[in-house]
Amino acid sequence: METKRIYVDHAATTPMRREVLDAMIPYFTENFGNASTVYQEGRTAKKAVSEARDAVAKAIGANTDEIFFTGSGTEADNWAIRGVAYANKAKGNHIITSAVEHHAVLHTCQALEKEGFRVTYLPVDEFGMISPEDVKNAICDETILVTIMTANNEIGTIMPIEEIGKITREKGVVFHTDAVQAMGMMEIDVEKMGVDLLSMTGHKFYGPKGSGALYIRKGVKVKPFITGGAQEKNKRAGTENVASIVGLAKAISLATAERCEKVPALEKMRDKFIDRVLEEIPYTRLNGHRTKRLAGNANISFEFIEGESLLLMLDMQGISASSGSACTSGSLDPSHVLLAIGLKHEVAHGSLRVSFGESNTMDDVDRIVDSLKNIVSRLREMSPLYEAVKNK
Ligand SMILES: *Cc1c(COP(=O)(O)O)cnc(C)c1O
């Protein structure tokens, strides 16, 4: 009998909700107009984009004219960082970020270093937490941007964004946050957080892939990202992807409305999974913070295990998860996040990220843990290192 597959990689992407698809379909078919045209089809498209902008603004406590649509979360991050850097070149060349950012942020900062900007990559503690005090101490006269993620995509750690926001305000430095993982999981309010720019992407909250948005606080100077037509107030040219924009807005509206009801269930699954694994499988450790972590995220290191083997064997048992390492992206280097929290290379290599979402149940938690117990002991039987430790 074919058992139901269990998908626990919601931090990588989520399935699109039926209501989102239903909201999008008319904009592929009868409402196909170009939002920049003046006749009826165009006006219909323009109205849809405008309503979507309202909805996104409402979800994060922003004004409608502060929301700009992009083609992905990666694009929003690129635009925020490059846009602020280029617009403030005359003021200074220093950028502050953390060692555990998503590559969309890290690689953009590294590219800017080649263009003459100076970047400080702040370390994190053993839980992946950044210290606001470190941010404060790193700010100098030349600092033009602080970019720190709201929550980490690998280990789920939720950063002290409000505290950092107070510091950047006080110092008059622009503050960007990559909130891609946090959207739909926790309250996101740009005023409370004290951020000036915020990135999001539709496909992490049950919306379409290839849809993103950047919040830019009124008055913050940001260079246009794509030149061409007058779309997105002359800042991000290209005919609007109306259906995706509608889908992103529908998804964030649903996620925001249902958050309080749905997040506790995710936390329950996460905590049961973590408790059972740590209790029932020896030589394991939890990566990230025990409580200040995203609702659906669990990240565990299994000593004497290769994460990739673990993933393949889980896959054969019908379970889709992720290794904490970057191996899947074709690199053998362990995850920069796991190294930043102090894991040794070999321990980082034996890490697993399980991210729960809407389709999961408490039964799934038990099935995953039972599979893991079995797989881990089989893999360890093949490990000479484990044999040595066991027989000591
Ligand atoms: C997924 C992710 C991104 C990239 O978003 P895309 O829309 O896939 O380009 C950026 N930052 C974080 C933290 C992410 O998890």
The pLDDT value recorded for residue 155 is 98
Q: DSSP of 373-385, one letter per residue?
A: HHHHHHHHHT-HH
Question: If pLDDT is split at 50, 70 and 90, which confidence band does 390 have?
Answer: confident
Q: Which of 63, 110, 120, 123 has the alpha carbon at shortest distance from 82?
A: 110
CA distance 157 to 292: 6
The pLDDT value recorded for residue 286 is 98
Verify that 105 and 229 share a domain, yes or no.
yes
Q: For residue 212, how far is its CA from the centre of ligand 1 (angstroms)?
A: 9
Specify the CATH number for the domain of residue 203.
3.40.640.10
Domain count, the chain: 2
Verify that 218 and 274 share a domain, yes or no.
no
Percent of the chain's residues with pLDDT above 90: 93
Final residue in a domain of this structure, among 255, 270, 299: 255
Token pair 């997105």: residue: 232
Q: For residue 281, how far is its CA from the centre of ligand 1 (angstroms)?
A: 31
The pLDDT value recorded for residue 140 is 98
The pLDDT value recorded for residue 1 is 52
Q: What is the pTM of this model?
A: 0.97
Instruction: Return the residue whose CA atom lies nearest to atom 5 of ligand 1.
Output: 73
CA distance 153 to 180: 8
Which H or E element spans position 178? strand 174-178
Q: For residue 58, how far is its CA from the centre of ligand 1 (angstroms)?
A: 22
Range in 39-53, 65-79, 210-224, 376-390 the model is least confident about: 376-390
**Domain assignment present for 374:** yes
Verify that 230 and 365 share a domain, yes or no.
no
For the sheet with 174-178, list strands across it: 67-70, 212-216, 197-201, 174-178, 143-147, 94-98, 118-122
Residue 102 CB–ligand 1 contact under 6 Å: yes
Token pair 């649509």: residue: 69
pLDDT digits (tens, 9 = 90+) for 329-374: 556 688 999 999 999 999 999 999 999 999 999 999 999 999 999 9
Is the confidence at residue 239, as pLDDT, over 70?
yes
Average pLDDT over residues 9-14: 97
CB-neighbour burial class of residue 384 (10 A; exposed 0-12, middle 13-18, buried 19+): exposed
Final residue in a domain of this structure, among 255, 285, 303: 255
**CB of 321 within 8 A of CB of 360?**
no
Backbone CA torsion sign across 217, 222, 225, 230? positive
**Domain assignment present for 165:** yes
Verify that 360 and 327 share a domain, yes or no.
yes
Q: Hey, what amino acid is at 303?
A: E
Atom of ligand 1 nearest to the CA of 101: 13
Is the confidence at residue 263, as pLDDT, over 80?
yes
pLDDT digits (tens, 9 = 90+) for 82-132: 999 999 999 999 999 999 999 999 999 999 999 999 999 999 999 999 999
Question: If pLDDT is split at 50, 70 and 90, which confidence band does 324 have?
Answer: low
Average pLDDT over residues 224-241: 95
**Domain assignment present for 377:** yes
Verify that 235 and 101 share a domain, yes or no.
yes
**Domain assignment present for 1:** no
Atom of ligand 1 nearest to the CA of 12: 1
Verify that 77 and 181 share a domain, yes or no.
yes
Verify that 372 and 246 share a domain, yes or no.
no
**Domain assignment present for 280:** yes
**CB of 88 within 8 A of CB of 101?**
no
Is the confidence at residue 328, as pLDDT, over 60?
no
Specify the CATH number for the domain of residue 383.
3.90.1150.10
Residue 181 CB–ligand 1 contact under 6 Å: yes
**Domain assignment present for 108:** yes
Verify that 224 and 278 share a domain, yes or no.
no
Is the confidence at residue 54, as pLDDT, over 90?
yes
Q: For residue 282, how far is its CA from the centre of ligand 1 (angstroms)?
A: 33
The pLDDT value recorded for residue 281 is 98
**Domain assignment present for 378:** yes
Final residue in a domain of this structure, among 255, 284, 305: 255
Question: How many other β-carbons are positioned within 10 Å of the β-carbon of residue 136?
Answer: 15
Domain that holds residue 290: 6-13+259-390
Instruction: Return the residue whose CA atom lies nearest to atom 6 of ligand 1.
Output: 73
Extract the tokens encoding 391.
């027989």
The pLDDT value recorded for residue 10 is 97
Instruction: Return the residue whose CA atom lies nearest to atom 8 of ligand 1.
Output: 73
Q: Which of 323, 318, 329, 288 has the alpha carbon at shortest distance from 305?
A: 323
Q: Is 109 a catalytic residue?
A: no
Ligand 1 pocket: which of 10, 77, 100, 102 to mutate (most atoms within 8 A of CB): 102
Verify that 331 and 203 share a domain, yes or no.
no
Question: If pLDDT is split at 50, 70 and 90, which confidence band does 389 have?
Answer: confident
Average pLDDT over residues 232-239: 95
Which H or E element spans position 190? helix 190-193
Verify that 200 and 66 share a domain, yes or no.
yes
Residue 73 CB–ligand 1 contact under 6 Å: yes
Q: For residue 201, how far is its CA from the centre of ligand 1 (angstroms)?
A: 7
Average pLDDT, the chain: 95
Could you give the count of Cα atoms lying within 13 Å of 372 in the half-sphere of its Cβ? 28
Token pair 């323009």: residue: 46
Verify that 172 and 307 share a domain, yes or no.
no
CA distance 322 to 90: 43
**Domain assignment present for 123:** yes
177: helix, strand or coil: strand
Ligand 1 pocket: which of 98, 148, 159, 204 to mutate (most atoms within 8 A of CB): 204
Average pLDDT over residues 36-52: 96
Question: How many other β-carbons are positioned within 10 Å of the β-carbon of residue 58?
Answer: 16
Verify that 57 and 206 share a domain, yes or no.
yes
CA angle 264, 77, 237 (to 5 degrees): 120
Could you give the residue ranges of the DSSP H alpha helices within 115-185? 132-138, 161-171
pLDDT digits (tens, 9 = 90+) for 154-199: 999 999 999 999 999 999 999 999 999 999 999 999 999 999 999 9
The pLDDT value recorded for residue 383 is 85
Instruction: Return the residue whose CA atom lies nearest to atom 14 of ligand 1.
Output: 180
The pLDDT value recorded for residue 120 is 98
